[in-house]
Amino acid sequence: MPLVTDEAFVISASDWHETSRIIRCFARAHGRIALVAKGIRKPKSRIGSTFETFSRVQIVFYFRTGAEIFTLKEAEMVEYVPELRTDLRRFAIASFFFEILDRGLPLHERHEDVFEITRRFLSDMRLDGWRPGTAPAYFLYLVSALGFAPRLDRCAVCGQPADVAFFDPAKGGGVCDSCKPHETGLIPLSSGLRDFMLTAMAQKGEEVLPVTSENAASEFFNLIRRFLEYHFETELKSAGFLLRQVPQS
Ligand SMILES: [Zn+2]
């Protein structure tokens, strides 16, 4: 079995048998993978504390085509955002981001663009003057890269260009006033949030557009949650946790 080196973000780690752990992570070259870290819980293990959720790690593992789980050989911490241990808001936002990675990334599929967005999102959180308002743009980049870009410049039902004021999680787009009475499960969409999302999705440069208010942030996270829960067919628990942290309008 070939030994391969990669770097990865840790999504979660859980105990396995007496002394081992299963590490679920998102690797730059190998995509979302699971690794078994044998003996990691023995007192002498050098890599025991390396696999904290959200950390970026250098990994060496035995790769085998078709295997569901690979065996880890070595690991080393590359970067961690210490503020995630002390700031509940940052922790809640990062948890939602990583739950989307976990649900949205297909197994073993390389997604260098998503990896880079994740790296930038976490580096941004290390800044002294970090503002929570910058997080939604990263979520938009993420969901777009995963194939869930919301369509907001025209109606998702009739296809006509429109200033949509409602969002349909099932169709993944805005719905115009004429089509609205015939649709169910729609979420109201403020013009401020719609304009923010359109601008942020069009602009993928170094400057990350912040949302304009706390209300816009909670409206955004609620919309993304409803949209993705529909498509992933599961509750996103971290979204509920996050929405209890941000004041509701
Ligand atoms: Zn329409």
Instruction: Name the token pair of 162.
Output: 């429109």
Separation of alpha carbons 71 and 48, rounded Å: 15
The answer to whether residues 165 and 188 touch, using CB atoms and an 8 Å cutoff, is yes
Q: Residue 135 carries which side chain, given as an amino acid letter?
A: A
The residues, any chain, with a CB within 8 Å of residue 90's CB and separated by 6 or more, are 81, 83, 84, 125, 130, 132
pLDDT at 246: 62
* HSE toward the beta carbon, residue 108, CA cutoff 13 A: 10
pLDDT at 247: 57
- Å from CA of 179 to ligand 1 middle: 4
Q: Residue 198 carries which side chain, given as an amino acid letter?
A: L
Q: At which residue do the structure tokens 């649900």 appear? A: 103
- Å from CA of 165 to ligand 1 middle: 11
- Looking at CATH, the fold of the domain delimited by 3-79 is given as OB fold (Dihydrolipoamide Acetyltransferase, E2P) (2.40.50)
- Å from CA of 181 to ligand 1 middle: 10
- Å from CA of 174 to ligand 1 middle: 8
Instruction: Name the token pair of 197.
Output: 């999302």
- Å from CA of 162 to ligand 1 middle: 8
- Å from CA of 224 to ligand 1 middle: 21
- Å from CA of 215 to ligand 1 middle: 27
- Å from CA of 142 to ligand 1 middle: 27
- Å from CA of 151 to ligand 1 middle: 12
pLDDT at 248: 46
- Å from CA of 109 to ligand 1 middle: 36
In DSSP notation, 30-77 reads TEEEEEEETTTTSTT-SSTTS--TT-EEEEEEE--TT-SSEEEEEEEE
pLDDT tens column, 7-39: 999 999 999 998 999 999 999 999 999 999 998
- Å from CA of 203 to ligand 1 middle: 26
Separation of alpha carbons 223 and 211, rounded Å: 14
Separation of alpha carbons 47 and 27, rounded Å: 18
- Å from CA of 183 to ligand 1 middle: 10
Residues of the chain with pLDDT under 70: 204-206, 246-249
Strand bridging mode 31-37 / 70-79: parallel
Radius of gyration of the chain (CA): 20
The answer to whether residues 50 and 75 touch, using CB atoms and an 8 Å cutoff, is yes
- Å from CA of 245 to ligand 1 middle: 35
Domain parsing of the chain, residue ranges:
3-79, 86-152+189-245
- Å from CA of 217 to ligand 1 middle: 26
User: What is the length of the chain?
Assistant: 249
pLDDT tens column, 149-166: 999 999 999 999 999 999
The residues, any chain, with a CB within 8 Å of residue 37's CB and separated by 6 or more, are 13, 20, 21, 22, 23, 47, 51, 72, 75
Kindly list the distances between the CA atom of residue 146 and the CA atoms of 35, 62, 90, 140, in Å, as whole numbers in the listed order.
Answer: 23, 27, 22, 10
Return mean pLDDT, the chain.
Answer: 93
pLDDT at 46: 75
Burial 209-243 (b: 16+ CB within 10 A, else e): bbbeeebbbbbbbbbbbbbbeebeeeebebbeebb
